[in-house]
Structure 1
Amino acid sequence: MTTRVAANGIDIAYESFGSPEGRPLLLIMGLGAQLIHWDEGLCELLAEQGHHVVRFDNRDAGLSTHFHDEGVPALGAPSPYLLDDLADDAAGLMDALGWPAAHVAGASMGGMIAQALAIRHPERVLTLTSIMSTPGPSVAPPTEAALAALMARPPAGREAVLAHALRTWSVLGSPGFDLDHERISELAGLAYDRCFDPEGTARQLAAIMASPDRTELLAGVRVPTLVVHGEADQLIPVAAAHATAAAIPGARLVTYPGMGHDLPRPLWPSFVDEITKLTAT
């Protein structure tokens, strides 16, 4: 069941899995993605390993607050918010949940937010898992094909949006694993029905581009850290994972051949095992 709470001056929608007595695990999703993009099956596997899992919609995504009045920032214009603000949203959600601290895992932009959370609110982060993410967008630029897929404006209409999603993930997805057309279409349809807001995604992208590189500040992170990345990622190439792991003292780096910029189902058991080993320390 989706719940909305007030946090950091906005409303945040979230869902939870597992026992409230479990180890708190906050999952932060990426650019334009919604809480449903943390697949229920993956969340349930994490819950089975003793986690109290919470997935949520970032601002300008899903059922959380959207900044419609801000429009879309012009190229070079100030962003209406930064990744630090999204990190503060996550801390505010933890307040609303009654969590003094939590294990935090973020994917793509969510990994950037998780990094910012560990920097800005170190006392709130028990462990950090940064998945297919980067300390800054200039660390490992995307390929031309990935950039074109990212920047392509979604068409109007539900069926066209589903077709657009299949085209996008045929480029960004994992070449070492079968592309799950049915699941991509299902998720795209669910996301469209929950909330379709390309301008919100544009504002999130502006926040990424306007936020400073975190490399130097990551040197101050002192929590157990796991860095996960696909070796075939075209959107955020694997060099970004090496840079992240090098920046955080003691970070463990795990990379997967054939994995692109998604979370292939066959790798879920490994993801869960790696995260569980981290959070159980």
Structure 2
Amino acid sequence: MGTSQLCGLDAARPDHTGRVTADTIQGRNGPISIVRFGHGSPLLLITGYRATLGEWNAYFLGELARHHEVIAFDNRGIGRSSTRQGRYGPNYDIHDMADDAADVVAALGVARVNVVGWSMGGMIAQQLALDAPEKVESLTLITTAPPGPQAVPLAPEVQSVLSGHGPNAFVDIMKVLFPADAIEDAKRCFVADMFVPRGYANPSVPDTVAAQQAGAMTKWFADSPSANALRRSPVRTLVIAGADDSVLAQANAYRLQQIIPRASLDRIADAGHALMFKYPIELARRIDSFVGQ
């Protein structure tokens, strides 16, 4: 995809976002914290495991905001997004978090949105497209996995690293999010390159919420009904995989391409799980091109 842009961009923050509007919408399961900025067709971003809306790459979002209204939100239990029990009992799952995403779409008052999901957010995005295909114009799935037993789940040791515990937690997380040649840059620049809108106190993620999200992903990897439903999905889909992804095996991307009828696959060389931090501008332009087709 070109030269890595980790630590290689101008120190000035991107100015394509314009005014960032923060709001809290009322979903069926409680309040959901969202931000909106940019101009153009609506683009809903759904983030991953133990991530907040402030942890997207700022330059990636700024480039997307050139041609889109970017909407990002905190998953339930994070920040001002409340936690409630799920439809199937006290432990919520990907279906429940897709309900939250659908409530964000409904609150926007738009007919259709383009949806971008990263990692666990890609699982939520898939379920949203299954539940409400009439609301999803296009689907971009970044380093994620399909539902069902044919997917390759996270290795237990990787799940343990991503849980964020231990004296070297940050460095260990960088080692699984990035290929070896980008780790030193990631340690220096990952946090500085995050999108944290003015007035947003980037919250910590409670262990209870992380455990709920881990459990939701475990259920996703056993969800054969959703896997079968994906075979009939009418939504135009772009699957993006990092060739050096240490979190979710590249085999998951090939599986997604196989089972979603209107899916295409981009395999990015020398990129790991957090490839929007390594190639923020180029990745945003690739998504913009796909959305505009």
Range of TM-score over shorter length: 0.7 to 0.9
Contact 2:52 2:202 in 1 (8 A): no
Runs of 4+ in 1 over 6 A off after TM superposition: none
2:192 equivalent to 1:172:
no
TM-score, reference length from structure 2: 0.81
Structure 2 CA distance for aligned equivalents of residues 202 and 103 of structure 1? 29
In structure 2, the residue matched to 1:236 is: 248
Across the aligned residues of Structure 1 and Structure 2, the Cα RMSD in angstroms comes to 2.5
Contact 2:114 2:291 in 1 (8 A): yes
Contact 1:146 1:235 in 2 (8 A): yes
Deviations 1:203-262 (A, max 9, x none): 111112123143221111112110001111121010000001111113110011221111
The residue type equivalent to 1:231 in the other structure is A
In structure 1, the residue matched to 2:82 is: 65
Higher helix share: 1
The residue type equivalent to 1:228 in the other structure is I
Higher RCO (CA 8 Å, separation ≥ 6 residues):
2
How many residue pairs match? The answer is 262
Structure 2 CA distance for aligned equivalents of residues 106 and 153 of structure 1? 21
2:26 equivalent to 1:6:
yes
The percent of aligned pairs where both chains have the same amino acid is: 29
Q: Secondary structure at the match of 1:202?
A: helix
Tell which deviates more after alignment, 2-11 or 107-116: 2-11
Structure 2 CA distance for aligned equivalents of residues 195 and 266 of structure 1? 24
Structure 2 CA distance for aligned equivalents of residues 118 and 26 of structure 1? 12
In structure 1, the residue matched to 2:16 is: none
Structure 2 CA distance for aligned equivalents of residues 137 and 170 of structure 1? 27
Report the alpha carbon displacement of residue 166 of structure 1 after superposing the two structures with TM.
2.2
In structure 1, the residue matched to 2:133 is: 122
Contact 2:42 2:114 in 1 (8 A): yes
Contact 1:25 1:51 in 2 (8 A): yes
Deviations 1:175-225 (A, max 9, x none): 34354213335589x798523312111111111212314322111111211
In structure 2, the residue matched to 1:74 is: none
In structure 1, the residue matched to 2:233 is: 221
Q: What does 1:1-281 align with in structure 2 at a 5 Å threshold?
A: 1-19=21-39, 22-48=40-66, 50-67=67-84, 80-136=91-147, 138=149, 139-143=151-155, 145-150=157-162, 152=163, 154=165, 163-178=168-183, 179-186=185-192, 193-211=202-220, 212-213=223-224, 214-281=226-293
Structure 1 CA distance for aligned equivalents of residues 91 and 27 of structure 2? 18
Structure 2 CA distance for aligned equivalents of residues 15 and 174 of structure 1? 31
